[in-house]
Chains A and B, each alone.
Chain A
Amino acid sequence: MSGRRSRSKQSSVSSITDDQITDLVSKLQHLIPELRRRRFDKVSTSKVLQETCNYIRSLHREVEDLSDRLSQLLASTDSDSDQAAIIRSLLMQ
């Protein structure tokens, strides 16, 4: 755990207390698949934040890839006729 930095002036609105960061970090740890497995290990604050950023970026990339593929698929199909069928399937998944 990071050592507490004692400050003579306590937190103003803009600065963040160590407690808040620790709190944020411990909760974030549960969200990230990478770190969920290591729940009982001590993962450093910067590691959790790093993994969170990495995870969000990888999700963004995944959506980009999927968008790419899907846009190509849509361009090459005339889905107007199948539209109803597809929507029905989507509502039943």
Chain B
Amino acid sequence: MKRWTTKREHQIYSSKLFQALCRSRRTSSSTSAKELHQTADRVLAITAKGTTRWSRAILAAPLTAGTNMKKHKKAKVTVHTRLRKPVVNREKRKLPVVERKLRALRRLVPGCRKLSCNNLLEETSDYIAALEMQVRALTAITEFLSRGLL
């Protein structure tokens, strides 16, 4: 996890990302924000060198073209509300708060939906550190690019 905080790692990632963005610009006339974000994620995942689940999940995910595509489409079953029995909010039916939040966390970290608690901690901390570096790198690229215009 330390790797996401070193200057060297930051330099490598930001320059790699910038190169990737320039490359994609040559192939398609414009890069949408979505594609850029995706590129940023993929380069980030590559930097992880396959050591974490979240990075492998990002690289395994299919490339989406521009539009907001959700991976899992939940089929909404519409039930006639009048015929339906009122849902009783019993403690047993609903997941306890902590488990609900744990599930939410699992959904946020790529590839971790069924991960155990211990591994989830590792993945989460690594993922957060990587995201923080991603933010710093994107900020740096933007800065240098806008400086170049002056």
Contacts and interface: CB of A to CB of B under 8 A. Distances in A.
B46 interface: no
A48 B125 CA distance: 13
A55 to B, nearest CB: 7
A21 interface: yes
A69 interface: yes
A49 B103 CA distance: 10
A31 B19 contact: no
A43 interface: no
Contacts, number: 141
B138 A53 contact: no
A2 B102 CA distance: 15
A52 B124 contact: yes
A6 interface: no
Interface residues of B, number: 52
Interface in B122-136: 124-125, 127-129, 131-132, 134-135
| Chain A interface residue number, banded | 35 or more
Given A28-B121, A60-B131, A52 B105 contact: yes
Interface string A43-80: 00110011011011101101110111111111101011
Nearest to B117: A20
Given A45-B98, A49-B105, A53-B105, 14 more contacts: A20-B118, A23-B117, A49-B101, A63-B37, A64-B37, A67-B34, A70-B21, A71-B32, A71-B33, A73-B146, A74-B21, A79-B145, A82-B148, A93-B11
Interface of A: 2, 16, 20-21, 23-24, 27-28, 31-32, 45-46, 49-50, 52-53, 55-57, 59-60, 62-64, 66-75, 77, 79-80, 82-83, 85-87, 89-93
